[in-house]
């Protein structure tokens, strides 16, 4: 219990200490006008209140990642707590803050545009394809998984296809309508439900004196899976997730001023870390008896464990409410995944999104592709998701480091997590059966060499960018509000 409480405290302290350090390094300017005003179109670009943006950001980046991931990560034992705390504060929150703030400085640009500006034009095309594939996978899976959960919740009375159709209709509306019509209206309430239910679970763990294990570096994974690199891909959303880099620019287009960035981007990630900590603790403490966590995952799945934990700690009524809220989580990440994909494609082919027909022309092929994907078995493709997700985080961290290097600021806050995750992602794909299937010792060497090479090219390219004084932000000095 002490490790759990100290971990929660460290996450909160991290927001008020390291968060301020990162903010000071970036140097936000309250007086600098944001894209919500300079590019206001009433659809994607429009100012919203900081608290609304915070809750929208939280519910967008959360999905089921900070719940299902930590439950699976709990198999490794209390060592998972270390990654959640250190990863969240020094990697995930830095990643989310820099991605969101650099996007604000560059007109609300998404990751492919930022990659093109800071890492070279070729990277723009690579990251664009990478991002669209990642978002399509997320959007498609987050249709199928909640539809199945709703089917189970209704005891099979309503056919699963009905839920699939309804979710797709909702996704389409949330993708093409102005952000303040659906997402800006219901997300803050869903974010509040997520926070309240999670605090309820955490409070119940403390009140009941749940036997949460104390800090240990022992690997308790029943299959003997290696902590490195697997743990750092298993627990992603609760510590560091590249998916967030596709979501933060959505809110960068609705942020009122730059000084709100730490609260919105850094704060939402810390909140997600706390959510991950609570669910990891619950999984470790409540399922360490005759029927182990591993056995339950194999029999009832992570969704079933969420249901067991919720009803066990909160009772049938409040537990059911919590479960319903968790069912909504993948839906609220799926819709922003499609919305983000629409915005990325629109930026890439330079099609304004003020007219609804333009939005439909881009959204339609996305949904047709997603519908096709729901009819085929893309299990193998999905196995690449964790690697693709963390590889996206690697790209975002190197972009953040490049921005800070050119601006002559402390770029090491991004370099250190970029090094670690570059090593992690490259070692994983070298060792994994879905990758090169090399022995672990060879994979570690491969990961080390790859990381050194990436670092070499980064500093070479960064020095050239600084020498050429490439622009790192849009010029908004001449902007005047439209008084018409």
Q: Per the structure block, which two tokens stand in for 304?
A: 């079933």
138 in a structural domain: yes
The answer to whether residue 475 sits within a structural domain is no
Query: Which pLDDT tens digit goes with each residue over 464-479?
Result: 999 988 898 998 888 8
Structural domain contains residue 476: no
Q: How far is CA 395 from the centre of its chain?
A: 14
What is the radius of gyration, based on Cα positions, of the chain? 22
For 307, phi and psi rounded to 5 degrees?
Answer: -65, -45
Query: Tokens 């839920």 — which residue?
Result: 163
Q: What is the pLDDT of residue 279?
A: 84
Over residues 134-152, the pLDDT tens digits come to 899 888 878 877 787 777 7
Query: What is the maximum alpha-carbon separation in the chain?
Result: 71
pLDDT number for residue 457: 95
Q: What are the φ and ψ backbone dihedral angles of 169, each rounded to 5 degrees? A: -60, -45
- Calpha distance 347→45 (Å, rounded): 13
Burial label for 236, CB within 10 Å (0-12, 13-18, 19+), is buried
Range ranked top by mean pLDDT from 49-53, 158-162, 209-213: 49-53
What does the pLDDT average to over 370-391? Answer: 79
Give the chain's length: 484
At 414 the pLDDT is 98
- Range 331-360 average pLDDT: 93
Asked whether residue 473 is assigned to any structural domain, the reply reads: no
Q: Does residue 484 lie in a domain region?
A: no
292: three-class secondary structure by DSSP: strand
Is residue 412 within 8 Å of residue 455, measured between CB atoms? no
Q: What is the pTM of this model?
A: 0.93
Across the chain, what does the average pLDDT equal?
Answer: 88
pLDDT given for residue 197 in this prediction: 79
- Kindly state whether residue 479 falls inside one of the protein's structural domains: no
pLDDT of residue 287: 64
| pLDDT of residue 328 exceeding 90 | no
Residue 291 confidence (pLDDT)? 47
Q: Tell me the pLDDT tens digit for each residue of 260-319.
A: 999 999 999 999 999 999 988 888 887 665 445 665 556 555 666 666 767 777 676 666
Backbone angles phi, psi at 148, to 5 degrees: -65, -40
Q: What pLDDT band is residue 177 in, cutting at 50, 70 and 90?
A: very high
Average pLDDT of the residues in 409-419: 97
* pLDDT at residue 394 greater than cutoff 70: yes
Domain extent at residue 45: 2-468
Contact 113, 347 (CB under 8 A): yes
Judge whether residue 329 has pLDDT over 80.
Answer: no
Residue 279: inside a domain: yes
Comparing 203 with 175, the larger pLDDT belongs to: 175
Report the number of distinct structural domains present in the chain.
1
* pLDDT band of 222, cuts 50, 70, 90: confident
CATH code assigned at 22: 1.20.1740.10
User: CA nearest 60: which of 236, 239, 265?
Assistant: 265
Q: Of the segments 138-142, 382-386, 430-434, which one has the largest average pLDDT value?
A: 430-434
pLDDT, tens digit (0-9, with 9 covering 90-100), for 7-46:
999 999 999 999 999 999 999 999 999 999 999 999 999 9
Look up residue 342 and give its two tokens: 């629409």
Q: Read off the DSSP letter of residue 91.
A: I
Q: How far apart are CA 45 and CA 320, in angstroms?
A: 36
């Amino acid at each position: 219990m002490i490790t759990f409480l100290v971990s929660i405290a460290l996450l909160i302290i991290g927001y008020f200490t390291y968060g301020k350090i990162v903010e000071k390094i970036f140097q936000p300017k309250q007086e600098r006008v944001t894209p919500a005003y300079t590019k206001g179109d009433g659809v994607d670009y429009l100012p919203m209140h900081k608290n609304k943006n915070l809750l929208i950001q939280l519910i967008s980046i959360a999905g089921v990642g900070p719940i299902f991931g930590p439950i699976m990560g709990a198999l490794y034992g209390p060592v998972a707590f270390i990654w959640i705390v250190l990863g969240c504060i020094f990697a995930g929150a830095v990643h989310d803050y820099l991605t969101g703030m650099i996007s604000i400085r560059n007109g609300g640009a998404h990751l492919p545009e930022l990659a093109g500006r800071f890492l070279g034009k070729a990277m723009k095309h690579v990251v664009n394809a990478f991002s669209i594939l990642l978002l399509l996978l997320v959007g498609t899976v987050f249709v199928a998984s909640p539809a199945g959960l709703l089917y189970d919740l209704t005891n099979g009375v309503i056919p699963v296809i009905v839920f699939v159709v309804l979710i797709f209709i909702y996704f389409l509306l949330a993708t093409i309508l102005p952000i303040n019509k659906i997402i800006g209206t219901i997300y803050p309430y869903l974010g509040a439900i997520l926070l309240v239910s999670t605090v309820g679970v955490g409070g119940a763990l403390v009140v009941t004196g749940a036997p949460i294990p104390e800090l240990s570096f022992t690997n308790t994974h029943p299959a003997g899976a290696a902590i490195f690199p697997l743990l750092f891909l298993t627990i992603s959303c609760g510590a560091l997730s590249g998916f967030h880099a596709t979501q933060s620019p959505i809110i960068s287009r609705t942020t009122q001023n730059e000084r709100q960035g730490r609260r919105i981007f850094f704060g939402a990630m810390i909140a997600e870390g706390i959510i991950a900590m609570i669910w990891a603790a619950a999984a470790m403490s409540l399922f360490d008896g005759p029927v182990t966590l591993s056995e339950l995952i194999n029999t009832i799945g992570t969704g079933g464990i969420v249901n067991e934990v919720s009803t066990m700690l909160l009772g049938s009524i409040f537990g059911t409410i919590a479960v319903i809220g968790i069912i909504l989580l993948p839906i609220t990440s799926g819709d922003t995944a499609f919305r983000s994909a629409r915005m990325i494609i629109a930026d890439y082919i330079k099609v304004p999104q003020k007219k609804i027909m333009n939005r439909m022309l881009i959204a339609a092929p996305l949904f047709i592709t997603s519908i096709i994907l729901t009819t085929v078995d893309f299990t193998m493709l999905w196995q690449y998701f964790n690697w693709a997700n963390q590889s996206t985080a690697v790209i975002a961290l190197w972009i953040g480091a490049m921005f800070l290097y050119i601006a002559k600021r402390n770029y090491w806050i991004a370099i250190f997590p970029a090094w670690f995750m570059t090593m992690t992602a490259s070692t994983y794909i070298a060792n994994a059966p879905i990758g090169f299937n090399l022995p672990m010792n060879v994979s570690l060497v491969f990961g080390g060499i790859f990381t050194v090479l990436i670092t070499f090219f980064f500093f070479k390219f960064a020095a050239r960018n600084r020498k050429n004084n490439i622009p790192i932000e849009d010029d908004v000095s001449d902007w005047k509000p439209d008084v018409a």
